A and B are shown apart, each in its own frame.
Chain A
Amino acid sequence: MTALPLKQRFQLSRFVLGEKAQAGEITLNQRRIFILPTQRGLNFVVLIGLLLLIAFVYNNNLAYLLGFLLASVFFIAILHSYRSLAGLTVRAGQTTDAFAGESAGFEIRLTNPTPVARSLVSISLENTETLALAADSITALTLYKKATQRGVLTAGTITIASTYPLGLFRAWSPLRFDMKALIYPKPAPASSPIPEAYGEQTYRGQLKKGVDDFYGLNAYQPGDAIRHIHWKAFAKGQGLLSKQYGSEHSGEIWLDYQQTAGHNLEERLSQLCRWLLDAEQTGLHYGLKLPSLTLEPGHGQAHLTTCLAELARF
């Protein structure tokens, strides 16, 4: 760890936000750990004052001694507070991507390489996890942060804190890691079905022709292809029904940005996202066409993640 210039060392943001984000491991030491009395600690000072007042009024030496003892305990608690965090190493782990509106997960690996057990350590991002760390132990845990916007979400400041041993002081260390989670677009409501595979030429030879393999009717939903509407039923006054074709379960389709309907970029990406999820779920082989890039059709979780990641970065 390099020494900090004096000006940087006294920046107020270090106390709250932590230092500049960095990759790799951070060891908690005197530069990273801050200690301030809690509300209870301040009340304890008032208590000590009261005890000394009693001692003073009654000129009682043992009451003085008790007051001084508690004052010394208060003072020494600072060292113990520091000790509750000092020497721990923190490392960024995996991140869990999420859809906008959900919470992204940031894994933190907390190592106690010292022979001193830590009885209370809390780690917080938006949620707070509390744990104890045995001597020479490693713990991994995941913190969550709510994602509001599509794109890249940085973890921000992760605060490690402890009020051990007496709760009179809080030692804390704000840490920033180079941790980024991808935030996929929020999937559009399941109202627009996957567009019909319009490029029949892409069908693989062994697959049946999907358009012929009629298997049932569904209520019409906006976006259904007009030629799939069951006009006869409509004529009978049964309302708008769409014909569904079996080929959609085994076919290969292209999901194209240009095909999406929506008022703006985000809505259209949401639509694409919904299609990707539905296609994966129904077992289709699907490719993704964005104005800037094309992903060849594929299938499986890995393929889905690649596609979703492209949407997030778009």
Chain B
Amino acid sequence: MPVSKSHLLFILSAIGLIVLPHVKHIPASVFGFFYVLLGWRFIAVWQTRWLPNRAVVLVLSIAGIAILYRQNLGILGQDAGTNLFITALGLKLFEIKAQRDLYLIVFLAFIVASSQFLYEQNVLMAVYILLVCTLLLATLVTVNSYRTQTRQALKTAATLILQALPMAIVLFILFPRLEAPQWLVLEEDHKALSGLSEVLEPGSITNLGLSDQLVFRAKFTGNIPPPAERYWRGPVLYYTDGKHWSQPDAQRLQKPPQLTGEPYRYTLLMEPQSKNWVFGLDMPGTVQSPLMQQANYQLITGDNPEKRSEYHLIAYPNYNTGELGEPLQQETLRLPGEPAHRIRELVEQLHGFDGPPQAFIDRLLNYFRQEEFHYTLTPPLIEHNPIETFLFETRHGFCSHYAAAFTYLMRVAHIPARIVTGYQGGELNAVGSFLEIRQANAHAWAEVWLQGQGWVRVDPTAAIAPERIEHGINIDQQAVSGALSFAAQTVRPGTALSWLKHARQTWDNLDYNWQRWVINYDNSNQSQLLSSLGINDIKTLVYWLLTSIGSFTALLSLFLLRKTRSQPDPSRLLYQRFCRKIARHGLTRHPSEGALAFAGRINSLLPARAAEVNRITHLYLKLRYGQHARKTDFEQLRKSVSKFKA
């Protein structure tokens, strides 16, 4: 069968849509090349003389190869493969001669669709790809229909997909997930993912961008910690040259802290990260592989952090880390040089040298609170002696400035201190009752070592901007106005804003479940789920698979094929009922006897019923063979037959 114009329009639209989301992942030259070819082919649907001849197609192919070659992508790997398939798809458009070519294009398009998932796996993308796949199937339906009916084809394709979905889901759940062998795993390009860094340099930042990009989610079983306790521990910074603060070398935890209080149990779902840091709620309890706890209580993972991963964690609100070792004490007391005169004066003024440590901490926090210190995300640039300049001159800064200054002053007063970076707060999703922690929740605070208590968390930012800790940063508003606000997020119920917030939370909840159950479904999730269903060996698995597919097929066949039985004529059913009634008089119709002949025979034997019998026979014949039978005739027949006394 030849390829018609409507087939072409169908397939060109479908593949135009399937390549579209790749705009984010493939080089502009490849993307542009593809859409130039597509546009050209679209015009050629109407202007057939625009179709390039073989020589031009050859030149185009060489051009395509050259574009691919210039990208230096090689042949293997997801970027190379995606670009190769898209270029091939574009070139193949000029060689549609028979239906066979349409099929090849549709098959290529399915591969391009699946390559999309290597880059993005969110719900919207999944729904989009599903819709475009419907369009691709609809193309095949039009090719296999006598007449092209766009709506009918789309409906058929959508029906097929809807009917296939349950079975696909069963396969998805039951199909064994294995790790690909090492030789099959292709080297992936590392993508720049934003997040906390290893080095803190408060003076050099003049504009801290707040991104609402999700970092992780935490779903609690039981109590959710109050906002003021939501400190998610990240890298701990010791070393400083007065400007930069950096991490020590990694060390495994030797002596776990003494943990007390009602523990919080939660599941942490980390979004892809560039570093192997896992942000556990302070203070994390014992962890299992692949997690490790470092000497400074930070959690790190042994798995690939660029994959979404899930951890079951436990945290205790109260802890005592105990004695401080000699080397650590030295490291957390070390100053980059002799402190400036003004700083020594300040510490002396606040009784840092002669009072107890706790009193000094309180006085310092009070000092921050009462003097003209401001919290801002757009602090001035400080090039020299950042701590001194900040304390006595600029006095505008955000959490890092305060944490750095505080830690520095503690060390001057000979109290071991360090900076902890991580996240603070998190928005509670009321729909799914989990916390969402975004990049804007990034935070830095201080930890001081006190005799008898061990490391104690002190957040100087809380002294300057307690709302920052209690309510969190209002990300939405900041994004709109550029101004910073810590307004309590109490939105009056019933207002449009509350609806909006609810909608956003519902969406986030959906996204959370999507990440958790679909994207992140792996070998361990699977074995957990399957064993909860009682599937523990391959035999039971196969049994389940066959049973569910079998029963589903049976249901579907019943549904699909019920209408392919021809329906008996309702008037014939009525007449048969009449014949059964008459049969009680010993009169049965012979198979070859017509209705009229039968009526004649009845009348000769039961002349009293002649009027009734004739009426029924007449109506029946009219309904079944007559040209102008009406609905009322059927009603009359129905009444006459039911009135007929046997």
Q: Do A and B bind each other?
A: yes
Seen from chain A, the residues whose Cβ lies within 8 Å of a Cβ on chain B are 27, 40, 43-44, 47, 50-51, 54-73, 75-77, 79-80, 82-83, 86-87, 89, 113-116, 119-121, 130-132, 163-168
Interface residue ranges of B244-288 to A (CB < 8 Å): none
| In the A-B complex, the 6 residue pairs with the closest CB atoms | A87-B564, A72-B164, A113-B566, A132-B146, A62-B117, A72-B167
Within 8 Å by CB of A164, from B133, B145, B521, lies B145
Most buried by A among B125, B164, B567: B164
Scoring B117, B518, B522, B553 by chain A CB atoms within 10 A of each residue's CB, the highest score goes to B117
Binds A, one of B178-186, B214-222, B364-372: B178-186
Partner of B145, one of A44, A76, A86, A120: A120
Contact A131 B146 (CB under 8 A): yes
Bound-state Cα–Cα, A167 to B143, Å? 8
Q: Which of A47, A64, A82, A164 contacts B111 (CB 8 A)?
A: A47
Cβ–Cβ contact B175 & A68, under 8 A: yes
Q: Which residues of A contact B113 (CB under 8 A)?
A: 66
The answer to whether B566 touches A62 (Cβ under 8 A) is no
Residues from chain B with a CB closer than 8 A to the CB of A165 are 140-141, 144, 156-157, 160
Cβ of A64 and Cβ of B164 under 8 Å apart? no
CB-based contact A166/B118 at 8 Å:
no
Give CA–CA (A58, B306) in the complex, Å.
12
**Given known contacts A55-B114, A64-B172, A73-B137, A83 and B561 CB-to-CB distance under 8 angstroms:** yes
Q: How far is the CB of B83 from chain A (nearest CB, A)?
A: 15
Known contacts A68-B171, A80-B160, A165-B141; A58/B133 CB under 8 A: no
Min CB distance, B204 to chain A, in Å?
A: 39
Contact with A along B157-191 (1 / 0, CB 8 A): 10011011101110110010111100011100000
A51 engages B111 (CB within 8 Å) = yes
B563 is an interface residue with CB less than 8 A from chain A: yes
Please measure, in the bound complex, the distance between the C-alpha atom of A82 and the C-alpha atom of B152, giving whole angstroms: 19
Q: Write out the residue numbers on chain A whose beta carbons fall within 8 Å of the beta carbon of B566.
A: 27, 87, 89, 113-114
User: Given the known A-B contacts A61-B518, A66-B113, are A166 and B556 also in contact in the complex, defined by CB atoms under 8 Å?
Assistant: no
Closest chain A residue, CB of each to CB of B565:
A87
Given contacts A132-B145, A166-B141, contact A76 B565 (CB under 8 A): no
Which residues on A sit within 8 Å (CB–CB) of B144?
119-120, 163-167
B634 CB–A CB distance under 8 Å: no
Residues of B near A71 (CB, < 8 A) are 168, 171
Closest residue of chain A to B559 (Cβ to Cβ) is A79
Complex: chain A residue closest to B143, CB-CB: A167
Q: Which residues of A contact B111 (CB under 8 A)?
A: 47, 50-51, 54
Q: Is the CB of B560 within 8 A of A79?
A: yes
A79 / chain B contacts, CB cutoff of 8 Å: 553, 556-557, 560-561
B110 at the interface (CB under 8 A from A): yes
B171 cross-chain contacts in A, Cβ below 8 A:
68, 71-72
What are 6 of the A-B contact pairs (CB < 8 Å)?
A54-B111, A65-B168, A68-B167, A69-B164, A79-B560, A121-B146
Given contacts A71-B171, A73-B161, A167-B144, contact A63 B118 (CB under 8 A): yes
The closest CB in chain B to the CB of A88 belongs to B564
Q: How far is the CA of A164 from the CA of B165 in the complex (A)?
A: 20
Contact with A along B500-529 (1 / 0, CB 8 A): 000000000000000000111110000000
Smallest Cβ-Cβ distance to B100: which chain A residue: A40
Q: Cα distance A40–B106 when bound, in Å? A: 11
B107 and A43 contact, CB distance less than 8 A: yes
The bracket for how many chain B residues form the interface is 35 or more
Residue of B nearest to A58 (CB): B118
| A residues in contact with B598, CB < 8 Å | none
State whether the Cβ of B311 lies closer than 8 Å to any Cβ in chain A: no
A80 to B567, CA, bound (A): 20
When A57-B185, A119-B146, A120-B146 are in contact, do A69 and B107 touch as well, CB less than 8 Å?
A: no
The answer on a CB contact under 8 Å between B126 and A62 is: yes
| Cross-chain contact of A70 among B110, B152, B561 (Cβ < 8 A) | B110
CB distance from A56 to the nearest CB of B (A): 5
Say yes or no: A80-B560 contact (C-beta < 8 A), given A66-B110, A113-B566. yes
The CA of A166 and the CA of B110, in the complex, are separated in Å by 15
User: Chain A nearest CB: distance from B128 CB in Å?
Assistant: 11
User: Cβ of B178: which chain A residues have Cβ within 8 Å of it?
Assistant: 56
Q: In chain B, residues 532-570, which have Cβ atoms closer than 8 Å to a Cβ of chain A?
A: 549, 553, 556-557, 560-561, 563-567
**In contact, A166 and B175 (Cβ under 8 angstroms):** no
A83 x B103 contact (CB < 8 A): no
Give the chain A neighbours of B103 by CB distance below 8 A: 40, 43, 167
Note all chain A residues with C-beta closer than 8 A to B141.
119, 164-166
Smallest Cβ distance from B99 to chain A, in angstroms? 8
Whether A76 and B564, one on each chain, are in contact in the complex, defined by CB atoms closer than 8 angstroms, is no
Q: Which residue of B lies closest to A70 (CB)?
A: B110
Give the chain B neighbours of A167 by CB distance below 8 A. 99, 103, 140, 143-144
Interface hits, B27-44 → A, CB 8 Å: none
Interface pair B117/A77, CB less than 8 Å apart: no
CB distance from B623 to the nearest CB of A (A): 16
Chain B residues whose C-beta falls within 8 Å of the C-beta of A61 in the assembled complex = 121, 172, 518-522
Pick from A47, A62, A70, A76: contact of B121, CB under 8 Å? A62
How far apart sit A116 and B564, CA to CA, in the bound complex (Å)?
Answer: 7
Q: Give the residue name and chain of the B residue nearest to A74 (CB).
A: B164
Q: Distance (Å) between the CB of A50 and the closest chain B CB? A: 7
Q: Evaluate contact between A73 and B160: CB separation under 8 angstroms.
A: yes
B333 part of interface (Cβ distance < 8 Å):
no
Kindly report which residue of chain A lies nearest to residue B569, judged by CB atoms.
A113
B-side contacts of A56, CB under 8 Å: 178, 180, 184
Whether B564 lies near A83 (C-beta < 8 A) is yes
Question: Known pairs A58-B180, A72-B168. 12 more at Cβ < 8 A?
Answer: A27-B566, A51-B111, A55-B114, A60-B117, A60-B118, A61-B522, A68-B171, A75-B553, A79-B561, A116-B564, A120-B145, A132-B147
Distance of A64 Cα from B130 Cα, bound (Å): 13
A80 proximity list for chain B (CB < 8 A): 160, 560
B-side contacts of A163, CB under 8 Å:
144
Q: How near does chain A come to B219, taking the closest CB pair, in angstroms?
A: 20
B629 to chain A, nearest CB (A): 15
Instruction: Say yes or no for B129: interface residue by CB 8 A criterion.
Output: yes
Contacts of A50 in B (CB 8 A): 111
User: Measured between C-beta atoms, what is the minimum distance from B35 to chain A in Å?
Assistant: 23
Nearest CB on B from A251, distance (A): 49
- Which of A54, A62, A120, A130 is close to B519, meaning CB atoms less than 8 Å apart? A62
Q: Does B115 interact with chain A (Cβ within 8 Å)?
A: yes
Q: How far is the CB of A241 from chain B (nearest CB, A)?
A: 57
Given contacts A75-B167, A114-B565, A119-B152, is CB(A57)–CB(B145) below 8 Å? no
Given A66-B133, A164-B145: A116 in contact with B161 (beta carbons within 8 A) = no
Report chain B residues within 8 Å CB of A168: 140
**Interface contact A76-B114, CB-CB below 8 Å:** no
**Which residues between 94 and 144 of chain B lie within 8 Å of chain A, taking CB atoms?**
99-100, 103, 107, 110-111, 113-115, 117-118, 121, 125-126, 129-130, 133, 137, 140-141, 143-144
Chain A CB within 8 A of B376 CB: no
In the complex, whether B394 has a CB less than 8 A from a CB of chain A is no
Contact A69 B145 (CB under 8 A): no
The reply to whether the CB of B78 lies closer than 8 angstroms to some CB of chain A is yes
- Contact indicator per residue, chain B 309-327, by CB within 8 Å of chain A (1) or not (0): 0000000000000000000
Complex Cα distance, B566 from A22, in Å, reads 21
Q: In the bound complex, what is the Cα–Cα distance between A72 and B133 (angstroms)? A: 14
- Measured between C-beta atoms, what is the minimum distance from A70 to chain B in Å? 7
